[in-house]
Amino acid sequence: MTIEAKPRHSVGKAMKRKEDPRFLQGKGNYVDDLKFPGMLYLSLVRSPYPHAAIKNIDISEALKVQGVTAVITGKDLEAAGLGWLPTFHGFDKQMVLAIGKVLFQYQEVAAVFAESRAAAEDGAEAVQVDYEPLPVVADPFLSKTDQVLLRPDRDSKTNHIFHWEVGNKDGTEQALGSSAKKIKQRIWFQRCHPAPLEPCGCVAFFDTMGRLQFHVTSQAPHVYRTALALVTGIAEDKIHVVSPDLGGGFGNKVPVYPGYVCAIVGALKIGRPVKWIETRTENLTSTGFARDYHMDVEIGATPDGRVTALHVATTADHGAFDAAADPSKYPAGIFGIVTGSYDFPVAHAEVDAYFTNKAPGGIAYRCSFRVTEASYAIERGMDILADELGMDAVELRQKNFIRKDQFPYPSALGFTYDSGDYHNTLGVALEKIGYKALLKEQAERRAKGELMGIGFSTFTEVVGAGPSKHFDILGIKMFDSAEIRIHPTGAGIVRTGAKSQGQGHETTWAQIVAEELGLDPQTIMVEEGDTDTAPYGLGTYASRSTPVAGAAITMAARRIREKAKKIAAHLLEVGEGDVEWVDYKFQVKGVPAKTVTMKEVAFAAYTNMSTNEPGLEATYYYDPPNMTYPCGAYVAVVDIDRETGEVKVRRFLAVDDCGVVINPMIVEGQIHGGLTEGFAMAYMQEIQYDAEGNHLNTNFTDYLVPTSAETPRWETANTVTPSPHHPMGAKGVGESPNVGSPAAFVNAVIDALSPLGVRHLDMPVNRDKVWRAIRDAEAGKTGAAVFA
Ligand code: CDP
């Protein structure tokens, strides 16, 4: 972040800010480091009220602040036809700047442009807004009553946003009704935030050719370009979106935020570059949150533990606008994966979403659109069922796993799982963790009154959206693309429609090209995020890069190999049919001594050695025939201090199966990172609002991010069940540990507390909650106090 050394503002607040390390948190970020001549800084005025009518906005004092150039309000944007943004899955629209009223605390109310960031912030403080508080609805169950209508701007006069359901309602009801055993539990996946270390930001300007140059922290730059063209009316060729190196995204950088629109409007109206960089507080309070699903989970079973039916009814808190970044046909994302790894004969899932006076969002935080919620629901549900049946949670899982010979497996909720060997993956986990010995130790400790828990999560998830006939964003099909150019000397460049945010595409994409073409991966450059050069793609989220863009790279490389084969035949002076690809070289069939390398072919392709069409490049747009279904068996072993409630993770083992692994080190890194996030959600994190709608965690002292001091040591292993339809047999992996681990952490805590009669606690299962559960149990209040 660049702050002017000499604040021009006399009060000296600017200097104080400069010295305050909280204001330096963006430093070192790529967008934040961008500087352009004459650049202005944008600061947003935000509402202190969660729900209030705006009586008046007085910008006169702000305009007097030295360095302030302009102030715009919602009314200005409305007059320009830019008052509202379409939300990604098209069911709603979102105010750019408040029009008439505010709907959540920290909502954007006015935009102040100034010569320095400090001046912009001083200007924002000087904007006077008269609010008239309105009744607040901070609870989706209260919202359901429609006593206070939050969105009178909508045609439907209710707070209910949508009802979505899938599966066999009547069949499930009947099966549950006739099941000998049944559990029912409300399970809340609390509101969380992806909180990437680099917050969101952008720089917008119109160049001398009148083109919008938009540098932005985006996980989906091409979708931004199209969305901007549709919303602003600027021709798409006059928009250049550049998403540079990102300091994490995790779904937080998929939506288009009001700050971006204001920066573009400012650049257009004032005619100068405008930079907007969020503070940590702005990131936590107003950009896409995750989860906030209240899930009523019912599972039926036979007395010997075979599952008979699953019903999940969810109340979803979507905040003030329905800004969830979900595919249009799936308002609840891919929640239908909620049957998990288990062979349910019948199931029914439904989701009802409601507006509340909270920040909008519902983004796919390191997951495929609500897969994490689904995975948590079923993995907690199976443990509760095991408890009900008095059965070992592992045995229950093994008994109900979809068997290897059932793949491709059609699930009761309409998915076709591509492949998996769940018994094997869990088997590896049991052996590595030494389950039998742990059970023995646990029994001994329990006899002494000690609280030791072993928690499992044997999840299946679904990654790699498309297929495009089912999945789209704003109507744009969910395919992805790759373009490969091999230069005359055998070096090359690969560009894709994906966008790395630290997942290492730069390494793995080069590996794929090298593997397919027999070239040195060190000489393959990878470029993503520039809409002028990269082929159109839907971006990176939901672990879709390897299943979709990775497949596109493979297919483009194979196209190159096809052309290269013709050139090789010419060089080897044989017919094309006599050439084969053996051991990373072209070889005359049956004559191992007569070979030509891809490097030699590349040179020939650009010189007069070949008579073929010059050049060696290919593009491929890949529309996956199905998604991929990675799975995992995770085990957490915890010890709980009975006096303090402190949970110590003694061991955590993650056995993942993401099909063929391209780069084991990157995959391991992905798993370490995701487990750390899962650990944080399970034990520490919750975006909290009080009943008046005040946002209680506005920085990292309230919203906790684990450091190396708290983070357990991770043990990892893997099994390989290739995807039958992916050209490399690979499945995605980035989100697996975030999706699969929360249940293992929580199951371990509940297992530890189960001798006290505790059956469920909602996340975050922090020390206070565990301490309270233990004390209540000791006082004989277990059921009432700790059941959700
Ligand atoms: O979409 P995103 O990049 O977040 O997720 P991904 O496709 O799961 O890939 C994350 C990283 O792991 C990428 O660098 C992948 O190429 C790598 N990966 C791998 O090496 N082998 C796999 N089977 C899956 C992913």
Residue to substitute in 503, 506, 728 for testing ligand 1 pocket (most ligand atoms within 8 angstroms of CB): 503
CA 527–ligand 1 middle distance (angstroms): 16
Query: Which one, of 648, 715, 650, lies nearest residue 683 by Cα?
Result: 648
Query: How high is the mean pLDDT in each 10-residue block of the chain (788 residues)?
Result: 30 36 51 92 98 98 98 96 86 93 98 98 98 98 98 94 97 98 98 96 96 97 95 95 95 95 96 97 96 98 98 98 89 95 98 97 92 98 98 98 98 98 98 98 97 98 92 89 98 97 96 98 97 96 94 98 96 97 97 97 90 92 97 98 97 98 97 98 98 96 94 98 98 97 98 97 97 94 45
User: Residue 467: is the preceding peptide bond cis (ω within 30°)?
Assistant: yes
Which residue CA neighbors atom 7 of ligand 1 most closely? 546
Q: What is the pLDDT of residue 782?
A: 62
Cβ of 732 less than 6 Å from ligand 1 = yes
Closest ligand 1 atom to Cα of 731: 23
The pLDDT of residue 611: 77
Tokens of 90: 């098209």
Q: Is the CB of 730 under 6 A from ligand 1?
A: yes
733 lines ligand 1 (CB under 6 A): yes
Cβ 546 under 6 angstroms from ligand 1:
yes
In this structure, the number of other CB atoms found within 10 A of the CB of residue 439 comes to 13
Among residues 45, 76, 37, which one has the least CA distance to residue 269? 76
Asked if residue 734 has its Cβ within 6 Å of ligand 1, the reply is yes
> Could you give the CA distance from residue 737 to residue 352 in angstroms, rounded to a whole number?
27
Residue 248 CA, ligand 1 centroid: distance in Å: 14
User: To test ligand 1's pocket by mutation, which of 243, 733, 736 has the most ligand atoms within 8 angstroms of CB?
Assistant: 733
> Which ligand 1 atom is nearest residue 542's CA?
1
Spacing, Cα 664 to ligand 1 middle (Å) = 10
Would you name the residues annotated as active-site residues? 219, 366-367, 735
Q: Which atom belonging to ligand 1 lies closest to the Cα atom of 550? A: 16
How many Cα atoms within 13 Å fall on the side-chain side of residue 189? 34
**Length of the chain in terms of residues written:** 788
Ligand 1 center to 497 CA (angstroms): 15
Cβ of residue 658 lying under 6 Å from some atom of ligand 1? yes
Question: For 65-211, where are the alpha helices, taking DSSP H only?
Answer: 74-79, 117-126, 140-143, 169-177
Instruction: Give, using CA atoms, the residue closest to atom 22 of ligand 1.
Output: 661
Q: What angle do CA 74, 77, 81 make, to 5 degrees?
A: 130
Nearest atom within ligand 1 for CA of residue 546: 7
Ligand 1: residue whose CA is nearest its atom 24: 732
Could you identify the atom of ligand 1 that is nearest to the CA of residue 663? 20
310 lines ligand 1 (CB under 6 A): no
C-alpha to C-alpha distances, 505 to 423, 553, 662, nearest whole angstrom: 31, 11, 11
Distance 547 CA to ligand 1 centre (A): 8
pTM over the 0.85 mark: yes
Q: How far is the CA of 503 from the centre of ligand 1 (A)?
A: 7
pLDDT at 242 (0 to 100): 97
**Residue with CA closest to ligand 1 atom 3:** 545
Q: In this structure, which amino acid lies at residue 635?
A: V
